[in-house]
Amino acid sequence: MELKKTYTFRVDTGALNENKALTLSALQRIIVTVSEEHLENIGLDVPKLMKEYGVSWILLSLTAEIKDSIRAGERLSVRTWHTNKKGL
C-alpha cells in the first residue's frame, strides 16, 4: 500500500481568475480531488469507510507552498501522505 504519492495536473483555463492565475477555490478543488483519489488508492475511500465502519474522513490540515502564480498550461504537483492520526 502506497502511503505517499505525488499527483501532477495541467492547469486549464476554467480554473483561472481574471489575471489568468489559478484561483484559491480551484486549488482547493484540486486538493480535495487528490485526497479522495489517494484514499481510494489505499483502500480508505468514503463508500468503504461508511459501509464497513460508519465513518467518513475530513481534511484536517493542509500546507501549500506556492512560489509564484500558477497559470494555464502549467503543471501542478500535489503530494499526499497518510499519517495514521486518530480523532480530532
Q: If we measure between CA atoms, which residue out of 23, 17, 22, 36 comes closest to residue 80?
A: 36
* The three grid cell numbers given for residue 14, joined into one nine-digit string: 476554467
Exposure of 22 by Cβ count < 10 A (0-12 exposed, 13-18 middle, 19+ buried)? Answer: buried
Q: List, in order of start, the domains of the chain with CATH numbers.
A: 4-81 (3.10.129.10)
pLDDT band at 85 (very low <50, low <70, confident <90, very high): low
User: How far is the C-alpha of 60 from the C-alpha of 12, rounded, in Å?
Assistant: 27
Judge if pTM exceeds 0.85: no
pLDDT band at 29 (very low <50, low <70, confident <90, very high): confident
pLDDT, mean over the chain: 82
Contact of 13 with 70, CB cutoff 8 Å: no
